[in-house]
A and B are shown apart, each in its own frame.
Chain A
């Protein structure tokens, strides 16, 4: 395990050895990966698990009786248990649904729970800091059924303004919010939001795409109703995501997609849907990806989410301090100051250099950051910018990465002086 023997803290030098892509060079410089909010890197353990699966166990799941088919099924279902344990799910075997990604998980809720529980005039509360994945499915539902959308505003520090929370929740059926902003890094008080939503008689869906990889998320402790996240942002592979919900909620929902694997019986004129979670997993699922996700979860658990959070919090402090110290007022970082309610996501504006140009210059330093609107156009409009350059941290980043980022920003400053 990649820990410092003396302090028990994360030893980044050891951690970095686990991630093969970090050995790469780009433009003759060692890669500086600061784009984990878009997608994280994968440790060898994940890659090996997937390779082993294909080399020794591959078969379709849930149907065969031969040895490898049973092994594949056990591996797939084992991943479900791993994921459930990781998020504190009381009953993983019935509550953890594998989807394509967080986006599909949220769409699943909108199309099944939303379509059967919401009608014209019913209220869904979102926030201004949502990713398009947690806006567009509800806008689509609004178009088809006439539900009303309300938005919790974002204040000037980039936090949710909760002064009007109870008014917004009044009469609402669902509160659907991100646990951590992919633009501002803001970590929202999910426990409190859940309490207030429930008090108002609403359910709460949490978009955990950014939080699950970086802070401990326990669905029971938070007392939430739905949780959506993606494997590829939490050291796992692309192509698989998760929807968790309570068994008693899932039991009442109609299927999402139709096909094989989600039925108990099919006749020419009707079908009988399977129990959750199979009811929501039509067709051959992403088996190797589930195996990879299981390995990613075990890697995170072995490293310890508390340690990861402590490391990223310290590095966030260093990043914000260094940016301020070395670039001064030239560099604006959106979002709250470093602290317990902020994750390692930094949306930067540097003088009037456009984000696209910043990212281009940074690429010459082998620094990977993301320019653009980060799929959060309503929030960008609120911030009054069309694009930012976003640097985001993972457990494998260190101070040197931040230093190179700053070196690259300074060069952009010279070029566009």
Chain B
């Protein structure tokens, strides 16, 4: 079961069993956004507090599989305290780690595997544990659910800050 161990790395299982930043912040003042994965019924409620251009607090509620829950937990730990610019950058890096695989798949279909642009996964810290997910294309949506919800929360929050 080598493949499965690639997917379910220890860090992922740890965040799944003991999710960080679990719960909901009172909204308002927090920004509250719900995300759904209509395919599998995963639901996530993300509440986010922005203070002085930083994510001063974030909480995650909802239900989902180990990948969606651990990704949300890892994400909350990674963005808490960061500036909005840093958060946007992190989102970009994470998403390219997740989409590398889709690009590789397309190339393989053409019969000419091309080395994808490397993503600097070191900048992702613990989040790099989610790299194994790209070998399981159907699970990518699980891993990106909380991130897309975060993007939505930022998009909704930023005009109010300006």
Residues of A within 8 A of B (CB): 353-357, 360-361, 364, 371-373, 377, 380, 386-387, 411, 415-416
Contact = CB atoms under 8 A, between A and B. Distances in A.
Nearest to B38: A373
B66 A386 contact: no
Contact of A357 (B3, B43, B63, B65): B65
Contacts of A373: 40-41
Given A356-B67, A360-B136, A415 B43 contact: no
- Nearest 4 A-B pairs (CB), nearest first? A356-B65, A354-B65, A373-B41, A386-B63
B39 A372 contact: yes
Nearest to B63: A386
A372 B136 contact: no
B57 interface: no
A90 B113 CA distance: 59
Interface string B52-69: 000000000001111111
Interface of B: 1, 3-4, 7-8, 13, 39-43, 63-69, 136, 139, 142
Which of B7, B43, B68, B136 has the most C-beta atoms of chain A within 10 angstroms of its own C-beta? B7
Given A356-B67, A360-B139, A372 B1 contact: no
Question: What's the dominant secondary structure at chain A's contact region?
Answer: helix
Contacts of B8: 357, 415-416
Which of B3, B39, B66, B139 has the most C-beta atoms of chain A within 10 angstroms of its own C-beta? B66
Contacts of B63: 386
B40 A371 contact: yes
Contacts of B142: 356
A356 B42 CA distance: 10
Contact of A355 (B1, B65, B136, B139): B65
Nearest to B4: A364
A354 B16 CA distance: 11
Given A364-B3, A364-B4, A357 B39 contact: no
B89 to A, nearest CB: 29
Contact of B4 (A353, A371, A372, A415): A415
A356 B142 CA distance: 9
Contacts of B7: 360
Nearest to A415: B8
30 contacts: A353-B66, A354-B64, A354-B65, A354-B66, A355-B40, A356-B65, A356-B68, A356-B142, A357-B8, A357-B66, A357-B67, A360-B136, A360-B139, A361-B4, A371-B40, A371-B65, A372-B39, A372-B41, A373-B41, A380-B41, A386-B42, A386-B43, A386-B64, A387-B40, A387-B41, A387-B42, A387-B65, A411-B1, A415-B1, A416-B66
Contacts of B69: 354
A377 B13 CA distance: 27
Which of B40, B64, B67 has the most C-beta atoms of chain A within 10 angstroms of its own C-beta? B40
A95 to B, nearest CB: 36
A355 B63 CA distance: 11
A356 B138 CA distance: 10
B13 A416 contact: yes
B42 to A, nearest CB: 7
Nearest to B7: A360
